[in-house]
Amino acid sequence: MLDSTESPEPDQRRDKPNFLTQTRFDEFDLPTEILDGLSDTGFTFCTPIQAQVLPVSLTGRDVAGQAQTGTGKTAAFLVTIFAKLLALPQKKAELPSALIVAPTRELALQIYEEAQDLGRHTGLTFAQVLGGVDYRKQADVLRKGADIIICTPGRIIDYFKQGIFKTTGIKVVVVDEADRLLDLGFSKDMRYILRKLPHYEKRQSMLFSATLSYRVLELTYEYMNLPEFIAVAPEEVTVEGIEQSLFHVGSDMKLSLLLGLLQREEWSRILIFVNTKAGVTWLTRKLNGNALPAEGITGDLPQRKRFRLMEWFKNGRIKILVATDVASRGIHVEDISHVINYDLPQDAENYIHRIGRTARAGKTGRALLLACEKYVVHLEPLEEMLGYKIPTIWPEDDWFVKDISQRVPGRLKGRGRRPLRPPGRRPSQPHGHRPSQPHGRRPEQSAPAPGKTRAGSHPGSLFGFAPESKPASESEMQTTPDGPKKKKQRRRRPKKRPTPAGNAPDKTKDQSSP
């Protein structure tokens, strides 16, 4: 038990007294290898979802948990998997024993990194199977064998159909963010994977979701063995520690208000959500043009670049990240001070995951919403889901900052812009340098010669100057949409030259001869 006079240690993630429970991990019958990994990572006390899931999952029963991101559910199912696999007898090395399915690559990468940290002393091997990463390398890893496979649905199905991924040895399966999987259209893929696994009576299944909707419950009824339903007050866990503020603003003044808020707020790291990919590109360019270094991340960005940007955002190299909902789940950064909804989410549930990027691990954060006339229609269902009205703040006139990106010449790229050329004279050139001429014109053609016209002005000229010629008569002209056109003339054969009289043959003589 934690003594009330004892000061909390920072590595035990107890920044808030009510974030962690009084249940310790060493109270469970866990192997020493798992406890050492938890201790090295800084986990000593359980979060509410961990304290409720572990007593059930460690007995081998199926679990369907309702919990938001940032509540510690990843550690809950990883500890269960580690304990299950360490208790198994000798198995075939090439057959995996556990499968974890995540909706997005970012979330799968986060689970993979946390599994490596918590399982560093277990001797278990891990493999991540994601789209957008080298296909052959991942296939070689699967052929070599790994104990735990962390994947997204599309790529793992591809390997299964080719016989590279085998499911006969799966003892534990975890479906993380099940509601997001269904929202992204992976319903058929998820059912295909679950049907190819051993029967639910021969394996342990765990499912976690932010909301246990009817679609999610249907999966539990069909592919799980009477799971234990565990819910941790979703609205309390998500909103606790997050100060929400709503701003009503017109679309034409939206960027101006955002720039003013970035000047007024005391922030360390900001995540801005936009609904469209084009909006991410546009807003990122605008922020860079206003001396606010920012990067954008969307779903069609190459996977290596997405991972690189996420890594820069985690280590503080990037302070402002603009993203679509692809980043609403899978970002585990504990120092995000502000989440700004530049566009209100069209799906109310996505709002929960957006603002869940801040106030993680018991810290506090701010969530700002900019409601314009285009997306304000989504505000009512959002507040109905929360069960209360979001506090509204009416900005003053001095809160709006003028956008200067339009007046910044040069090409905007990355964090800066191309150095500007001073106005006035062109830079001096070395002796003998020929100044550049307009495209398509040679130096000697700078002025047309007398009696000639420029290229293109004469109907028959294509290059250079057209030769001087007499204007065509009206009968030789045709009317076209582009103006009069000279009638095409037929090419005639040259006439034979007349033969001189002295050389003409004597036809009468030829005829009279025998």
Q: Is residue 509 part of a domain?
A: no
Residue 453 — pLDDT band, cuts 50, 70, 90?
very low
Residue 262 lies in domain: 241-414
User: What pTM does this model have?
Assistant: 0.62
Query: Within this chain, do residues 42 and 141 fall inside the same structural domain, yes or no?
Result: yes
Name the DSSP letter for residue 451.
Answer: T
237 vs 313 pLDDT, higher one: 313
- Residue 427 domain-assigned (yes or no): no
Task: Specify the CATH number for the domain of residue 188.
Answer: 3.40.50.300
| 310 membership: H or E segment, kind and range | helix 303-315
Asked if 384 and 269 sit in the same domain, the reply is: yes
Residues 227 and 264 in one domain: no
Looking at per-residue confidence, does 300 or 287 come out higher?
A: 287
Supply the DSSP symbol for 433. Answer: P
Query: For residue range 29-54, what is the model confidence (pLDDT) as tens digits?
Result: 999 999 999 999 889 999 999 999 99
Amino acid letter, residue 72:
G
Single residue among 414, 430, 461 that ends a domain in this structure: 414
Question: Do 260 and 311 fall within a single domain?
Answer: yes
Query: Is 185 domain-assigned?
Result: yes
Residue 316 pLDDT more than 50? yes
Same domain, yes or no: 111 and 52: yes
Per the domain annotation, does 23 fall within a domain?
yes
- The answer to whether residues 322 and 274 touch, using CB atoms and an 8 Å cutoff, is yes
Last residue of one domain, picked from the residues 232, 252, 267: 232
Beta strand 412-413 with 416-417: parallel, antiparallel or unpaired? antiparallel
List the single range of 89-103, 264-278, 287-301, 395-409 with lowest mean pLDDT.
Answer: 395-409
Quote the tokens at residue 142: 């699967």
My answer on whether 272 and 228 are in the same domain is: no
Asked if residue 378 belongs to a domain, the reply is yes
* Range from 99-108, 232-241, 487-496 carrying the lowest mean pLDDT: 232-241
Q: What letter represents residue 41's amino acid?
A: T
* Same domain, residue pair 183 and 208: yes
Q: How many domains does the chain have?
A: 2
Same domain, yes or no, for 101 and 197? yes
Would the pLDDT of 118 be above 90? Answer: yes
Q: Which of 176, 154, 168 is nearest to 197 (CA)?
A: 168
